[in-house]
Amino acid sequence: MVTDVIAHRGASGHAPEHTWPAYELAMQMGADFLEPDLQMTRDGHLIAFHDETLDRTARPSDCSGPVRARTLDEIRRCDVGSWFNERYPERARPEFEGQRVVTLAELFERWGDRVRWYPETKNPAETPGMEEALLELLDRYDLRESARRRGVLIQSFSADSLGRIRSLDPELPLIQLLADPDEAMEVIAGYAIGVGPNRKLVDSAFMDAARAHGLLVHPWTVDEPDEMDRLLELGVDGIFTNFPDRLLERLGRRGPDPGPQD
């Protein structure tokens, strides 16, 4: 059985999340999927950014507030790499300072169908049009057919957002993210090909329920080798990790050594 290595925000354990160094390292390591969280700027650009606000990862201090309240040009002035050096001095590198946000268009332009993609619609209720913008980019970079062949998996915690995408193109593969164990597999199987559960939800009973409804299981976010081994033994189909190299090693697909880490 093939278990996919999903680079969570890039190789974000080694480099600032959603920056070129994080994505480049994930590609060098041999990750199967790159996972860009999507936020929409005030002028309609989709950027690879996790939080609804700039506060946690953007510098200087005036780079703050909701992403949706800023234009792309305004956000481009922010440094989204230095925070990593501050928080993880043992992994700090000079080149991380001054990193700028990356757009989904730039990611698609650079790697196209050379890798599989796993975008997540974030905060879709507050940014109407996000789903249409995502599909427009799939078309612009000739990825719509690849997506239909599972070269792009679209994920969200929002069933409404996934429903919107399904209404626009019922052939696109969707993944329902789960934080709650009570969400009904039977209902999810009506519109999605898989689930992305919190790793703590995944046990043999969870796997049995997912399999009974033909759903893939891609737990998040798994960084410790012992937990990787537990989930691999249960037979999950893929794993989100900040350290793709660790998972590749467990799978016998070791990529290049990223250098000394913690």
The Cα diameter of the chain in Å comes to 50
The pLDDT assigned to 258 comes to: 60
Catalytic residues: 8, 50
From CA 122, how far away is CA 85, in angstroms rounded?
A: 26
Global pTM reads 0.96
Domain segments of the chain as ranges: 4-52+102-251
261 — pLDDT class (breaks 50, 70, 90): very low
The pLDDT assigned to 255 comes to: 54
pLDDT digits (tens, 9 = 90+) for 191-228: 999 999 999 999 999 999 999 999 999 999 999 999 99
Residue 174 tokens read as: 């969707």
In 3D, which of 5, 107, 110, 111 has the Cα closest to residue 47? Answer: 107
Host H or E run for residue 209: helix 204-212
pLDDT digits (tens, 9 = 90+) for 73-121: 999 999 999 999 999 999 999 999 999 999 999 999 999 999 999 999 9
Report domain 4-52+102-251's class.
alpha beta
DSSP 153-218: -EEES-HHHHHHHHHH-TTS-EEEEES-TTS-HHHHTTT-SEEEEBGGG-SHHHHHHHHHTT-EE-
Indicate whether 235 pLDDT > 50: yes
pLDDT digits (tens, 9 = 90+) for 159-194: 999 999 999 999 999 999 998 877 799 999 999 999
What's the mean pLDDT when you consider all of the chain?
Answer: 96
Chain CA centroid to CA 201, Å: 19
